[in-house]
Amino acid sequence: MTLSMKDRVYAAAEQISAERRPTVSTVRAAAGVSNADATRYLKEWSQEKNAAGGQVAATPAVLLEQAARLAGACWAEASALADVRHAAVQAAWLQEKKDLDLEIAELVADLDKVSAEKDAAVTELTARVTALETEAAAAGEQLEEAQAAAQEAVREASAALTKLAGAEARSLTLQQAHDALLQRIVPETPPRNEPQADPTGAGED
């Protein structure tokens, strides 16, 4: 049977009172209770003892000894139960800590994996961006070269057209001059189909 804190305080006070006046500290140490409980129940014990007069002093020493033994046995049993409960709580806490450590380790591993994947993706994207920038720069240079070549071709075509127009104008002028010279050099000839007159008149009747 487990004694209450009040019973333990009362038993301890009875045992101590057989030798000296019980105090809060001595009762607390003997009963294994808190300072507040020792103060409270020792005060009640003192009041009950004063009210009972000399009845407490008349209590047989055997009963006091048995009560003290009972209190000690109860306290030992309570301590054993507390130790068992403490061991169970500690075991549960250790298991929970082990599970939490495992979960934390898994989370750290996942974080490391995600970080590695992120770094790889960043590296790949950086290389891709660099390659695209290089391609864009090369394309820009090619475009500038193509534009410059196109402008040069336009200038050359324009110059060629100008030369062609000048050549055509000179050719027309030369042709006109050639035709004028021919007209001055070649005499006019009569038409071939007209009969020529006989100067002697032999053809007349």
pLDDT at 22: 92
Q: Which among 16, 74, 4 is positioned nearest to 49, based on CA atoms?
A: 16
Q: What is the 3-state secondary structure (H, E, C) of the chain?
A: CCCCHHHHHHHHHHHHHCCCCCCHHHHHHHHCCCHHHHHHHHHHHHHHHHHHHHHCCCCCHHHHHHHHHHHHHHHHHHHHHHHHHHHHHHHHHHHHHHHHHHHHHHHHHHHHHHHHHHHHHHHHHHHHHHHHHHHHHHHHHHHHHHHHHHHHHHHHHHHHHHHHHHHHHHHHHHHHHHHHHHHHHCCCCCCCCCCCCCCCCCCCC
pLDDT, tens digit (0-9, with 9 covering 90-100), for 136-156: 899 888 988 989 988 998 888
Question: pLDDT per residue over 2-36, tens digit each?
Answer: 678 899 999 999 999 989 999 999 999 998 889 99
The separation between CA 61 and the C-alpha centre of its own chain, rounded to angstroms, equals 77
pLDDT tens string, the chain, 205 residues long: the values are: 567 889 999 999 999 998 999 999 999 999 888 999 999 999 999 999 888 765 545 566 677 778 778 888 888 888 888 889 889 999 998 998 988 887 788 878 878 888 899 999 899 989 988 998 999 899 888 988 989 988 998 888 888 889 888 888 988 999 988 888 888 886 655 556 555 555 555 554 4
* CA-atom Rg of the chain in angstroms: 67
SS (H, E, C) 128-183: HHHHHHHHHHHHHHHHHHHHHHHHHHHHHHHHHHHHHHHHHHHHHHHHHHHHHHHH
Neighbour-count burial of 6, counting CB atoms closer than 10 A to its CB (0-12 exposed, 13-18 middle, 19+ buried)? middle
Could you tell me if 15 and 68 are in contact, meaning their C-beta atoms sit under 8 angstroms apart? yes
